[in-house]
Structure formats: C-alpha cells, structure tokens
Amino acid sequence: MKIFNLSMECYPVAKVGGLADVVGALPKYLNRIEGIESSVVMPWYNKPFVHDHSFEIIFDGWIHQSHHTFQVQVMKERENSLGFDLYLVKIPGLLDRDNPYGYWDESQQFLAFQHAVLHWLSAMQIRPDVLHCHDYHTGLVPFMIENCPEFRFLKGVKTIGTIHNGEYQGQMVWDMAKYFPWFYGENWGLLDWNGYINPLTTMIKCCTAFNAVSGGYMDELFQDFRGLESLVQQEYLKANGIINGIDTEVWDPYIDPFLDFNYKKENAEQGKWQNKKALCEEYGLNPDLPLFSFIGRFAGEKGADFLPEIVWKSIQQSQGQHNIIILGSGDKSIENELSSLNASFSNFALDLGYKEYLSHRIYASSDFLLMPSRVEPCGLNQMYAMRYGTIPIVRYTGGLRDTVEDISTGGSGINFGSASAEDAVNAIHRALHIFKDRDLMERLVQTNMSFDFSWEKSAEKYLALYRK
C-alpha cells in the first residue's frame, strides 16, 4: 500500500508545532509494517536540513495560477535518512521560504503546494492508494482530484484528512478561486462555507474519511467546532478519532543527547535530580524546590494568556516555595508580561524562543508540567513529560483528557476543569502537597514512565483506517 502524507511541516526538516512531530514519526512507524510504503511530501524551505542532506531532482514542470506561470521542482532525499521517502516541492517565489507560515500570500502558497503535488503525481502517473492530507493547508486536495480535469489520472484515489487543529481553517475570499487549478464550476458548493472558501470544510466534505488526533477532541468537535459542528454531524460516518503517538526513539531519557544526565526508570529519581540541579543552576533557581514548567506557543488555545497570573499568584501564595520555568514564544503582550515578571520574581525563569534541545532538558528536570489549554486536539507535551517521569497538570479537554488521569481516580496526573488561571493555581497547590510526599512522588514518576505512548499502536489504527 502506497501512502503519501501531504503536510506543511515535518520534523526534523521544518517544525512549528506538534504537526511536524506527527508527520515525522507516523510514516517511519508505518513503514515497519510489511507491505506499507508511506512517504512525506512537503514544501522546500530554506532550513539547515535541506542544505545538510542530498537531494535529486525527480520532476521538473510548470503550473499556472491565474495569469502567472510557476516552475515546479520535486526533489527526493537520497539517503532516506528519516525512515521514509521525503519529497520536497520547490517553486521559486512561493515554495522556497524560510518558514512554513506567516506570509501575507500564504493562501496562494498553500494552493500552489497542493496544485504542484497533484500536477507532479498526474504527470508522472504515480497513483498512490491513499493521499493523507494534514490540516487545512492540504485540505483542498480531496476536492481537486475529483473536480479538476487536470488531475483526472488521480480521480478515485482515497483521501484521509487529519484535523490536527480545527481552530485554523484557512478561510479565504472567493476572489482567490482564480488561483485554483481549473475546476468544474457546478461543484463550487463543495468549496463554500458561509460565503467564503473554507479549505477545512472542503476537506471534511470531500475526503474519503477524516480524523481528529484524539477521540476526546473528535467528541468535542461534534458539539462545538466554531460553527462547523453541523457539518461534522452530517458527515459522522466518515469521522474517526485516533490519538497521536510519540516518537519514543527521539524521546527517550536513556539515550537523549540533549540531557545533562541520561536516566531510565530504575534510576529516575537520581537522574531527574541531576538534570534539575544543572538546569536550576543555569537559571538561578533553587533545585530543592519543586519545579513547574510550561513549554509551548504563547497562544490563546494553549491558555498562555493565563501564564502571567498563574506565575505571580501561585508564587506569592506559596511564598516562594516553588519554581516555574517557561519556554516559548508567540503573542507579544504575553512575552512582555512574562519578561517583566521574570525581572521581579527570583522563582521564575523565562526563555523566549523555540529551542528543541532546551525542551528536552526541561521535561527531564521538571517535577510537574503545566498545560492550561483551552483547546488541545491531542497534546504531545504531556506524553513527553510522562515519558521523562514528569507529572502532567492538565486542563480536562481534548487529547489531554484521553491521556492524563487524575490521581483521585487512580491516575498519575492532575486534571483541572475550567480554563482559568484560578483553576490552574489550585492545581499547583494540589501538586505542592503531593511533592511533600516523597513515596507518592516516586510512585507517580514510575507509573508515568511506564506508559506506552509509542507510535506502534496509533500507526495500527491509521493502517486500519487506510485499509477500510
């Protein structure tokens, strides 16, 4: 079975968020199953990975967008170093950028990617069994293969649409239709949602099947999906929930090259302490105090706007009896508020930016990881944390409720109900009590480290969906 994953991100080539981790791991694990050939197709970016690896050009062609003509090149990585075939699509001026997102003309950029991929596959008569489209950026593919005569060779190819984050839908004005490959006009309704072109709704309408990245999130989308709940309810026969895995070969405290000290379950107490000591010394924190952390984008969905209040309230209330470290970037007002707290609270350390190596060190060093998310389709951080023996404190939502069970019901994490700073601070107080009980702490660390969040199980579920 031949599967092409179409995505804007893939770790380690280009990563903005969890989407990259999933696309960088799922095909690798699927390829270990006999008869499966899963590969990744993504845009070319000006990133170290593409310069440090060798590629061969396997396709050279042209696409038309409105009255513009663009050259398209598809290159394939020579060494297969990621455990799957990696194809990069390059279009000078549109797909040759430094980063995946943040450009004024990104709708056109995503359209060009989808157009170019389908043009390449059609021209070279490559007919995969499944086109697996990740998020709205590739959500128009299921429509295009059925409705654009240019891609008639691909008509009937099965498509899966994975919703990693339904908050982003790629809505654009109808004028943008001029950048589409020519399509049969009578089917315009498949593109339309409330007077706009909405690639996420088009994906849901046109794909063979779609899934959210956890059962919990899928359930929530049926209830409340920024106005799309009626569509999901209507298409319920195609809906699935498949929880993500984590790449346990990349995320393993025993071999992780970013850690100051490697450790496994048997010496976790000592290993975590040594990592914590090194990290705390670097950031001027007292390692004897419990360490709480937050890692991620400063965005409303992640509840990052609660962080400043969580920091000052919880530290004031505990009278400086715990430390907090935050690694992330995003919303400038949150960055500014946290920076000024950093200057006035000695129990608080802030590192602005996206630093993969530092995130590994923080997972290993922390006692607790905080995720006050408003929305969390799956969440990977809580799984990384548990693998590193860190206790997750999560809001009860989406994938977080599927993966973290509260101590009070026999689990090994802490749940809180409402998306608010107040609930998060109360959860920190619960954690501070737990921290005082060394035996309980040790038990929780051991339990969390024994969970199996590996991709094998989730890859099997995707395989079952492909087969269906």
CA distance 271 to 260: 9
Q: Which CB, 8 or 378, lies closer to ligand NHF?
A: 378
How near is the Cβ of 467 to ligand NHF at its closest, in Å? 22
How near is the Cβ of 117 to ligand NHF at its closest, in Å? 21
Among the listed residues 199, 161, 163, 207, the one whose alpha carbon sits nearest the alpha carbon of residue 180: 199
CA distance 416 to 411: 13
CA distance 69 to 67: 7
| Binding footprint of ligand NHF on the chain (CB under 6 A) | 17-19, 22, 164-165, 213, 244, 376-380, 399
How near is the Cβ of 464 to ligand NHF at its closest, in Å? 18
CA distance 68 to 94: 12
8 Å CB contact between 36 and 1: yes
8 Å CB contact between 206 and 146: yes
How near is the Cβ of 165 to ligand NHF at its closest, in Å? 4
Q: Which CB, 199 or 379, lies closer to ligand NHF?
A: 379
Please, where are the H alpha helices in 18-105? 18-30, 48-52
- Token readout for 172 is 């654009």
For residue 209, report the phi and psi dihedrals to the nearest 5 degrees: -155, 155
How near is the Cβ of 320 to ligand NHF at its closest, in Å? 32
- Going edge to edge, which strands form the sheet with 55-65? 55-65, 68-77, 86-90, 37-43, 2-6, 130-134, 158-163, 209-212, 239-241
How near is the Cβ of 300 to ligand NHF at its closest, in Å? 12
- Read off the DSSP letter of residue 164: S
Q: Which CB, 24 or 271, lies closer to ligand NHF?
A: 24
Helix axes 268-283, 438-450, angle to 10 degrees: 100
How near is the Cβ of 218 to ligand NHF at its closest, in Å? 12
How near is the Cβ of 211 to ligand NHF at its closest, in Å? 10
Q: Which CB, 97 or 134, lies closer to ligand NHF?
A: 134
Q: Which CB, 290 or 379, lies closer to ligand NHF?
A: 379
The three-class DSSP label of residue 384 is: helix
Q: Which CB, 168 or 283, lies closer to ligand NHF?
A: 168
Q: Which CB, 100 or 181, lies closer to ligand NHF?
A: 100
CA distance 289 to 306: 22
The single residue listed with the structure tokens 């129990």 is 347
Q: Which CB, 18 or 100, lies closer to ligand NHF?
A: 18
The single residue listed with the structure tokens 């990975």 is 49
How near is the Cβ of 213 to ligand NHF at its closest, in Å? 4
Q: Which CB, 91 or 375, lies closer to ligand NHF?
A: 375
- Read off the DSSP letter of residue 53: S
8 Å CB contact between 322 and 346: no
The residue of the chain with the least Cβ separation from ligand NHF equals 18
Helix axes 332-344, 307-317, angle to 10 degrees: 20
How near is the Cβ of 345 to ligand NHF at its closest, in Å? 29
Question: Kind and range of the H or E element at 279?
Answer: helix 268-283
Q: What would the DSSP string read from start to end of 187-218? A: GGGGTEETTEE-HHHHHHHHSSEEEESSHHHH
Q: Which CB, 5 or 347, lies closer to ligand NHF?
A: 5
Strands (E), 242-355: 291-298, 323-330, 348-352
Q: Which CB, 134 or 158, lies closer to ligand NHF?
A: 134
How near is the Cβ of 19 to ligand NHF at its closest, in Å? 5
